[in-house]
Amino acid sequence: MGPNKLLVLLLCGILLLLSGQKSWGQEMPSRRNFVQVGYGALSLQEMATRIGNSFTLFYPVQHRVHQVIGPVQVSYHRALSERVSLGAVASYTSIHSVTEELSQDQGGQTQTTKVGEDRPSYYTIMPTVQYHWVRSDVVKLYSGISLGLLVAQRDRRPEQSDEDQRRFISIPFGQLTVCGVRVGRKVGGYLEGGLGAHGLLTGGVFFCY
């Protein structure tokens, strides 16, 4: 099944859930809509890049991560019942890696020469479902799962070239939120621990209405 077909099926699932939301339960929260803005650390794409770079440490040419931005995330959730909420999350991650050539001068000192750069950017859009274990007015404890698409844009520039070598790939991807907590009423903060495209640890602010 291709990524496009998978995305169509996920969107159809969202529509079916929204059309039958009254059957999820009779009790509905007074504030049903949540908007979150957050920042993550140690996403799978970052860890894969760092692990891949580590295999070059003992070779004449090595790669190292120079800068990481993100994942920066924006998400929306709507409560379907007291326990279940449905929504979508989008994120952006940028990883800047440098390729260096190692050599030794006449005095035996190791010299490094930059021979290229790699600047992949990762974009995700994912439907997401959350289940609330605890839902009080101030504190909410939940778990969740997101499944959707990850689009990677890779810009690689050899040192001798002035033009980027650009290519795009898209693959099915996801995020498993093992445990998340929101603290606040209309405005507050949240913290999530999980694994996937959005990082091992994610935190930020939310607004509900």
Show the tokens assigned to 149: 């698409």
For 23-58, the pLDDT digits (tens) are 444 455 666 899 999 999 999 999 988 887 777 655
What's the CA gap between 130 and 77, in Å, rounded? 9
DSSP string of 114-160? EEEEE--EEEEEEEEEEEEEEE-SSEEEEEEEEEEEEEEEEEEEETT
79 neighbors 144 (Cβ within 8 angstroms)? no
For 129-161, the pLDDT digits (tens) are 999 999 888 999 999 999 999 999 987 655 555
Smallest Cα–Cα separation from 97: which of 137, 58, 53? Answer: 53
Domains of the chain, earliest start first: 3-12+28-55+70-94+120-208 (2.40.160.20)
* pTM reported for the whole predicted model: 0.77
